[in-house]
């Protein structure tokens, strides 16, 4: 059987500055008046899991060619770009992957980013998303380096099912130990993300809710999304968030909670008995593009304006061409000011289809979730 080859990265050219140099003023707005507030930085394209919805083994097998180290942004380059984004209004930085804890000496990068402050002098909200496999041994060093909190991906409590989903024979107990270690060192509030795939792990919704209720961790259920093209996404495998909430409410009464901010992706529900809260992220059945404030920086420095984008903007080319901070900052400003992405609102429409003529979107493992 021939091996499937799925292009993960795109061949975007370096952005061309078309206007005068723009001095950062602490806020950028796109064509829909959305500010730039959040930056997600992928620090590696590698992962030690082969989750079926993200890095299926039939694509990312032992022969898959990951990026050479020289192609990745260095910590110095990441820090430089992060500083320019913060000057334009970014208040939150999330480190992602792949699995970010596989990046050697990641604590050194965290130490650098933790020194950045907003134009108003406030510290950044510095977070990290992980599969939890290395969290138990790294939690203390991450906290000491300046990381504020972590989000852990966990798709099942049943060990057999979890091993099948991560396709790496990794035990659920080790992820739970990582969560406990993160709580012990103060990387809180911890969020636990469960991608729900109908017919695969939806039987775990209530057990997950039961386990994390009253634990101090916030459990969030994510609708299975059509990110990239390697996961064979099908709408029939999407379990709407409304059904997730209904299933939990049958066992534990829930009441809606107000959002922390307009840009928050999760709808929040609190346990009536005071046992904490859950969240649901409904990017398929309830688009939240209208308030999206996020940009994504890929492992080798491509800037993406949407999780469902098909192409990005090559900031690494600018960095390595000798461009000044003013030039790179102006390029970032022009890119964001031209942004009109709202794929989830347009999903299935002619506008969404025409925006990606070859039908290909960037892979989640390449730019992070």
pLDDT, tens digit, for every residue of 246-278?
999 999 999 999 988 766 778 999 999 999 999
The domain limits of the chain are 38-367
Rounded Cα gap, residues 293 and 173, in angstroms? 35
Give the other-Cβ count within 10 Å of 43's Cβ.
24
Residues 6+ apart with CB under 8 A from 356: 310
Asked whether residue 222 carries a pLDDT value surpassing 50, the answer given is yes
Q: Dihedral sign, CA of 356, 366, 291, 93?
A: negative
* Of 92, 90, 80, residue with least CA distance to 328: 80
Torsion angles phi and psi, residue 306, rounded to 5: -155, 145
CA 231 from centroid of its chain's CA atoms: 17
- Token duo for residue 42: 């992928």
Domain 38-367: give its CATH code: 3.20.20.70
Q: What is the pLDDT at residue 233?
A: 57
Q: What is the pLDDT at residue 352?
A: 45
The DSSP 8-state label assigned to residue 59 in this structure reads T
Question: Strand, coil or helix: what is 41?
Answer: strand
The full length of the chain comes to 369
- Token duo for residue 333: 């400003």
- Token duo for residue 192: 């636990």
Asked whether residue 363 carries a pLDDT value surpassing 70, the answer given is no
- Token duo for residue 163: 């091993």
* Of 291, 295, 261, 265, residue with least CA distance to 279: 265
Rounded Cα gap, residues 264 and 169, in angstroms? 34
Please state whether the predicted TM-score (pTM) of the whole model is above 0.95.
Answer: no
Average pLDDT of every residue of the chain? 89
Rounded Cα gap, residues 358 and 278, in angstroms? 37
Place 349 in a pLDDT band, splitting at 50, 70 and 90: very low
Q: What is the pLDDT at residue 6?
A: 44
Residue pair 81/301 in contact (Cβ under 8 Å)? The answer is yes
Q: What is the pLDDT of residues 27-72, one digit of tens each?
A: 999 999 999 999 999 999 999 999 888 888 988 999 999 999 999 9
- The helix (H) or strand (E) run that includes residue 129 is strand 125-130
């Amino acid at each position: 059987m021939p091996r499937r080859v799925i292009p993960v990265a795109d061949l975007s050219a370096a952005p061309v500055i078309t206007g005068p140099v723009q001095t950062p003023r602490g806020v950028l707005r796109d064509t829909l008046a959305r500010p730039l507030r959040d930056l997600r930085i992928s620090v590696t394209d590698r992962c030690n899991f082969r989750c079926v919805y993200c890095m299926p083994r039939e694509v990312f097998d032992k022969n898959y060619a990951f990026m050479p180290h020289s192609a990745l942004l260095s910590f110095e380059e990441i820090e430089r770009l992060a500083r320019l984004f913060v000057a334009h209004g970014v208040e939150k930085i999330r480190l992602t992957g792949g699995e970010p804890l596989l990046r050697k000496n990641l604590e050194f990068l965290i130490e650098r980013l933790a020194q950045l402050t907003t134009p108003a002098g406030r510290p950044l909200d510095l977070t990290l998303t992980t599969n939890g496999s290395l969290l138990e041994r790294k939690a203390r060093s991450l906290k000491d380096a300046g990381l504020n909190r972590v989000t852990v991906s966990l798709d099942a409590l049943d060990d057999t099912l979890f091993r099948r989903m991560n396709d790496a024979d990794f035990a659920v107990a080790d992820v739970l130990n990582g969560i406990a270690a993160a709580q012990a060192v103060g990387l809180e509030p911890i969020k636990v993300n469960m991608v729900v795939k109908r017919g695969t792990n939806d039987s775990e919704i209530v057990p997950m809710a039961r386990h994390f209720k009253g634990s101090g961790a916030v459990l969030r259920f994510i609708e299975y999304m059509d990110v990239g093209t390697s996961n064979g996404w099908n709408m029939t495998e999407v379990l709407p968030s409304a059904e997730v909430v209904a299933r939990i409410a049958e066992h534990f009464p829930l009441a809606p909670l107000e959002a922390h901010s307009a840009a928050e992706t999760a709808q929040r529900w609190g346990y009536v008995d005071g046992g904490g809260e859950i969240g649901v992220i409904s990017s398929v059945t309830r688009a939240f593009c209208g308030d999206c404030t996020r940009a994504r920086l890929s492992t080798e420095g491509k800037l993406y304006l949407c999780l469902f984008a098909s192409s990005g903007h090559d900031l690494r080319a600018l960095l390595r061409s000798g461009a000044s901070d003013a030039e790179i900052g102006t390029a970032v400003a022009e890119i964001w000011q031209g942004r009109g992405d709202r794929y989830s609102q347009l999903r299935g429409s002619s506008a969404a289809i025409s925006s990606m003529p070859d039908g290909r979107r960037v892979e989640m493992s390449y730019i992070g979730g």
